Amino acid sequence: MTVGIDKIGFFTSPYYIDMVDLATARNVDPNKYLIGIGQKLQAVIPETQDAVTLAANAADRILTSADKADIDMVIFGTETGVDNSKAAAIYVQDLLGISKRARAFEIKQACYGATAGIQMAYDHVLLHPESKVLVLASDIARYGLNTPGEVTQGGGAVAMLITANPRILALDGQSAFYSENIMDFWRPLYRKEAVVDGHYSTDVYIEFFKRTWKQYQDKTGRSLADFSALAFHLPFTKMGLKAIDAVVQGTASATKLLRQFDFSTQYNAVVGNLYTGSLYLSLLSLLSNSDSLKPGDRVGLFSYGSGAQGEFYSGTVAKNFDRQALKKPVDNLLDDRHKLSIPKYEKMYQAAMPITSGDITYDVTADQSRYVLRGRAADRLVYLDTGKSAENKAQ
Ligand code: COA
């Protein structure tokens, strides 16, 4: 029996900005954003979407009624949770009608949360092969208007179903991890925007990648030659490029792995930062866009959450893997988006729900998503199922 990712669904906002427009507005050479940072477009999240609705919309794209009845654990990885106490997983479980005979909880460790969820799901399904676990990775990356981090914003969610005999990626069950108390990126309770030392964070990320990759090699005896591709946590695509360069340059695997890395950045470059979902959007990008990855090929995954936790693990492409079934719904979702001018983006950015209390009602008529945030009443978040169906459902 193998255990791993059986289904992956992705959802993001229908709005985006072009990095050339942002560079022009900020009086920066566009090539800094396009080449130096490696981002082309950036998702802009309207006030009618939050981490819960993004995740619910992502899960809605992959789950059948049978899945909803069979799921016995819902794990929600996020660092933009909607409550200091209540898990976002409970809202999604309710909105989607997932079985109540399930454990539902949230995991936080910056951009690493979903990886912890996948590892927990893997162990659970190994012990209980009939189980299905829904792992959600959902975040909105905010650094602030006119800040150096603005170009690395974005948002969206990846939903993954972890089962026995998966149809996408069978996990090897071998991984290497490392954690250390580091102040490279965090978000105090009173802030919606991250506090970040971006250059330091990049250095730590590369260091953690080299360290966990070495630990993984020592544990498994595998080398770069055993991998067809490496996928990375990608707050911006240049960050992953720096990490992969640090390990593959000058080796016999460099050409192959750098070519696959390009495929793994395509979706991230046009969506932006998903925080904990970034690695899994990159995996989706690799599996959907690579013209040569085939069943049996081994993929390495490097997960990093500031603060900091790193993990390198691996899996092999499943034997029934269907690339087109994975790719089409993502391409359609991204193609259907609307471009915003920079003033409109700034207005939307500032309209996000404030941390301060008070009732709010949003106009949800412009939001075509199935699940939307209606507002807040008597300190309760109000979510709506509009009944709109997710077109182009993933496999
Ligand atoms: N053409 C091409 N490249 C250019 C350029 C131009 N005209 N101008 C600058 N660049 C390059 C720089 O050389 C640099 O490349 P390098 O990193 O390979 O040296 C890159 O663009 C970025 O320039 P830099 O001056 O370092 O940018 P910055 O100080 O404005 O900040 C970040 C960039 C990434 C540090 C900032 O956006 C940030 O902090 N983002 C958040 C990152 C984060 O969240 N990290 C934690 C999550 S893991």
Answer with the one of 290, 318, 346 that is the final residue of a domain: 318
Give me the active site residues, please. Answer: 79, 111, 233
Query: Is the overall model pTM greater than 0.95, yes or no?
Result: yes
Compute the distance from residue 245 Cα to the ligand 1 centre, in Å: 16
Q: What is the mean pLDDT of the chain?
A: 97
Residue appearing with tokens 């409109």: 344
Is residue 346 located within the same domain as residue 363? Answer: yes
* pLDDT (mean) for 159-167: 98
Whether ligand 1 lies within 6 angstroms of the CB of 31 is answered as: yes
Residue nearest to ligand 1 atom 30, measured at CA: 148
Reference 205, options 175, 236, 251, 228; nearest CA is: 236
Amino acid at position 155, single letter: G
* pLDDT (mean) for 78-95: 98
Nearest atom in ligand 1 to the alpha carbon of residue 197 is 39
Is residue 290 located within the same domain as residue 359? Answer: no
Pocket test for ligand 1, best of 20, 26, 27, 32 (most atoms within 8 A of CB): 32
What pLDDT was estimated at residue 388? 86
Is residue 146 located within the same domain as residue 210? Answer: no
**Domain total for the chain?**
2
C-alpha Rg value of the chain to the nearest Å:
20
d(CA 25, CA 13): 22
Is residue 128 located within the same domain as residue 240? Answer: no
pLDDT digits (tens, 9 = 90+) for 349-395: 999 999 999 999 999 999 999 999 999 999 999 999 999 876 544 43
Paired residues of 176 in beta bridges: 312
Is residue 26 located within the same domain as residue 165? Answer: yes
283 touches 259 (CB < 8 A)? no
Is residue 198 located within the same domain as residue 345? Answer: no
Percent of the chain clearing pLDDT 70 (strictly above)? 98
Is residue 149 located within the same domain as residue 205? Answer: no
pLDDT digits (tens, 9 = 90+) for 106-151: 999 999 999 999 999 999 999 999 999 999 999 999 999 999 999 9
Compute the distance from residue 36 Cα to the ligand 1 centre, in Å: 6
Compute the distance from residue 137 Cα to the ligand 1 centre, in Å: 25
Q: Does the annotation place 242 within a ligand binding site?
A: yes
219 touches 174 (CB < 8 A)? yes
Going by C-beta distance under 8 Å and a sequence separation of 6 or more, which residues neighbour residue 262? Answer: none
Q: Which domain holds residue 274?
A: 173-318
Is residue 187 located within the same domain as residue 279? Answer: yes
pLDDT digits (tens, 9 = 90+) for 48-83: 999 999 999 999 999 999 999 999 999 999 999 999
Nearest atom in ligand 1 to the alpha carbon of residue 275 is 47
* pLDDT (mean) for 217-238: 98
Position 85 pLDDT exceeds 60? yes
Is residue 307 located within the same domain as residue 339? Answer: no
Reference 39, options 237, 329, 173; nearest CA is: 237
pLDDT digits (tens, 9 = 90+) for 311-352: 999 999 999 899 999 999 999 999 999 999 999 999 999 999
* pLDDT (mean) for 10-33: 98
328 touches 335 (CB < 8 A)? no
Q: Does the annotation place 273 within a ligand binding site?
A: yes
d(CA 241, CA 8): 24
Q: 362 in a domain, yes or no?
A: yes
* Whether residue 110 has a cis bond before it, omega within 30° of 0: no
Is residue 238 located within the same domain as residue 380? Answer: no
- CATH number where 126 lies: 3.40.47.10
Answer with the one of 318, 347, 363 that is the final residue of a domain: 318
- Give the Å distances, CA to CA, from 354 to 47, 84, 270, 349, 376: 10, 15, 27, 11, 11
Q: 394 in a domain, yes or no?
A: no
Whether ligand 1 lies within 6 angstroms of the CB of 198 is answered as: yes
Is residue 160 located within the same domain as residue 180? Answer: no
What pLDDT was estimated at residue 390? 63
Compute the distance from residue 44 Cα to the ligand 1 centre, in Å: 20
Q: 339 in a domain, yes or no?
A: yes
Position 8 pLDDT exceeds 90? yes
d(CA 15, CA 49): 11
171 touches 122 (CB < 8 A)? yes
Residue nearest to ligand 1 atom 7, measured at CA: 32
Confidence of residue 179 (pLDDT cuts 50, 70, 90): very high
Whether ligand 1 lies within 6 angstroms of the CB of 14 is answered as: no
Is residue 256 located within the same domain as residue 364? Answer: no
161, HSE (Cβ side, Cα atoms, 13 Å): 30
Residue appearing with tokens 């659970």: 124
